[in-house]
């Protein structure tokens, strides 16, 4: 069976791995010059079941409304995007009702735990090197009421086996001594014990090397332009170099999946939510654990003992990936607030932006659709790294006609 995978980010390359493992002949097509050149390039690096909440928590409307006109709000909506987003936006708001939000939260969290298990098996099988660590993450707080609220959520997450510890300031300093300079401002933290870290780009590159040695064919710098149809399915994709026929196709083109699906008259409710990261080299007193700042929707993550990555913020700005200085300043400000001892100084700072493929209920969009031989692996929003292994595995299983190792009913396109 020959399968063409469209896209070589986290979703595409992971699906290719599981397809190949099941014996498929696999071709991965990507318009970029190599793996992970778009949203999977410099993300927050967190594999984080504890942060699997969709963004449309109850009260989101008020927060978005307040962001109008404020260029440095953590979540920012550009007025000129509204006409093209209204249908998606209404669904997004409908999914912010308490019950819907909690349902999606729990679906994502369970799937994220399955993804961790799947990745552990994959690491054992492949010995991929991508800076993996498993120290957990810290949510730190300056206000007692915010900490108490976070502890309530942490208790609620126990129902899906998410483990945590509440830390007072002394315990927090013991767990992460690099926070000592801001000790007096803090009231405590929630330590989620099972979250992990890994560099998504290194993972994609390592998997690409491994699969290249295992007869997977990668066609880079080749854009899928259109499809050739057959009754109930796809016969081939068309690219500038001609047609590429296959028995089955996996659409894993991130935020661009919607446009490609549109050519098949298939509606996938996705919008791009732009996020930013900065990566700063550090030489001494490197923090051990990732730190999450809830108010700014941002994380500070130590990578490989050599750098800190600060990632986050959300901007609905269409497909524009321009790096705007005020958003970068937000992240530099956060880093300075958490680790004032880190010398940023502009030296070697790398700024990046990427487009999260956001579905209106914050869950990924996985599996079959009205075309018999097309399978979707997209819509992961802010969780594409966390959910990569689970999604790649089940989409590959369905493509190959195998029994599914996880029930993907909550993630199917047909829910919309």
Interface with ligand FAD, residue 55, by CB under 6 A: no
**The two three-digit tokens of residue 210, written as one number:** 């491994």
Question: How near is the Cβ of 233 to ligand FAD at its closest, in Å?
Answer: 19
Residue owning tokens 């966390």: 386
Strands (E), 68-195: 75-77, 137-141, 164-167, 188-192
Distance CA 295, CA 195 (A): 20
Question: Of 171 and 373, which has the nearer Cβ to ligand FAD?
Answer: 373
Interface with ligand FAD, residue 130, by CB under 6 A: no
Question: Of 142 and 222, which has the nearer Cβ to ligand FAD?
Answer: 222
Torsion of Cα atoms, 59 then 63 then 68 then 74, to 10°:
-150
Interface with ligand FAD, residue 74, by CB under 6 A: no
Residues numbered 342 to 401 that lie near ligand FAD (CB under 6 A) are: 354, 356-357, 378, 380-386
Distance CA 49, CA 17 (A): 22
Question: Of 188 and 251, which has the nearer Cβ to ligand FAD?
Answer: 251
SS3 for 302?
strand
Interface with ligand FAD, residue 7, by CB under 6 A: yes
CB 197 within 8 A of CB 44: no
Rule CB under 6 A: choose which of 275, 362, 368, 392 binds ligand FAD. Answer: 275
Interface with ligand FAD, residue 32, by CB under 6 A: yes
**DSSP letter (8 states) at residue 345:** T
Within a 10 A sphere around the Cβ of 169, how many other Cβ atoms?
16
**DSSP letter (8 states) at residue 350:** E
Question: Of 136 and 381, which has the nearer Cβ to ligand FAD?
Answer: 381
Question: Of 95 and 108, which has the nearer Cβ to ligand FAD?
Answer: 108
Distance CA 365, CA 90 (A): 18
Interface with ligand FAD, residue 208, by CB under 6 A: no
Stretch that binds ligand FAD, among 23-31, 66-74, 143-151, 154-162 (CB under 6 A): 23-31
In the complex, the residues that contact ligand FAD under the rule CB under 6 A are: 6-12, 29-32, 37-40, 43-46, 223-224, 252-254, 256, 260, 275-277, 311, 354, 356-357, 378, 380-386
């Amino acid at each position: 069976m020959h399968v063409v995978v469209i896209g070589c980010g986290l979703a595409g390359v992971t699906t290719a791995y599981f397809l190949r493992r099941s014996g498929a002949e696999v071709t991965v097509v990507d318009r970029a010059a190599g793996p992970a050149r778009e949203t999977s390039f410099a993300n927050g690096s967190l594999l984080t079941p504890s942060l699997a909440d969709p963004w449309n928590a109850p009260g989101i409307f008020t927060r978005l409304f307040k962001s109008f006109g404020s260029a440095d709000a953590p979540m920012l909506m550009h007025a000129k995007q509204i006409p093209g987003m209204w249908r998606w936006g209404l669904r997004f708001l409908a999914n912010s009702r308490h019950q819907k939000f909690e349902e999606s939260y729990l679906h994502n969290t369970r799937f994220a735990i399955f993804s961790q298990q799947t990745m552990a098996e994959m690491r054992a099988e492949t010995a991929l090197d991508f800076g993996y660590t498993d120290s957990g993450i810290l949510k730190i707080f300056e206000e007692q009421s915010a900490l108490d609220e976070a502890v309530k959520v942490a208790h609620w997450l126990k129902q899906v086996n998410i483990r945590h510890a509440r830390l007072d300031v002394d315990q927090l300093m013991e767990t992460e001594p690099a926070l000592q300079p801001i000790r007096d401002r803090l009231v405590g933290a929630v330590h989620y014990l099972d979250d992990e870290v890994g560099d998504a780009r290194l993972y994609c590159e390592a998997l690409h090397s491994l699969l290249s040695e295992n007869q997977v064919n990668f066609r880079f710098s080749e854009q899928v332009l259109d499809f050739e149809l057959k009754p109930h399915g796809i016969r081939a994709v068309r690219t500038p170099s001609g047609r590429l026929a296959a028995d089955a196709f996996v659409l894993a083109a991130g935020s661009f999946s919607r446009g490609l699906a549109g050519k098949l008259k298939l509606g996938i409710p996705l919008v791009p939510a732009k996020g930013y990261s900065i990566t700063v080299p550090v030489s001494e007193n490197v923090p051990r654990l990732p730190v999450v700042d809830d108010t700014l929707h941002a994380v500070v993550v130590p990578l490989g003992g050599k750098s800190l990555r600060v990632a986050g913020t959300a901007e609905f700005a269409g497909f524009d990936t321009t790096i705007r200085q005020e958003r970068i300043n937000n992240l530099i400000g956060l880093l300075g607030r958490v680790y004032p001892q880190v010398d940023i100084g502009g030296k070697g700072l790398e700024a990046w932006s990427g487009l999260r493929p956001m579905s209106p209920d914050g869950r990924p969009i996985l599996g079959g659709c009205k075309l018999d031989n097309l399978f979707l692996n997209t819509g992961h929003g802010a969780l594409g790294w966390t959910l990569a292994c689970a999604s790649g595995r089940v989409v590959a299983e369905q493509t190959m006609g195998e029994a599914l190792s996880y029930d993907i009913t909550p993630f199917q396109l047909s829910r919309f």
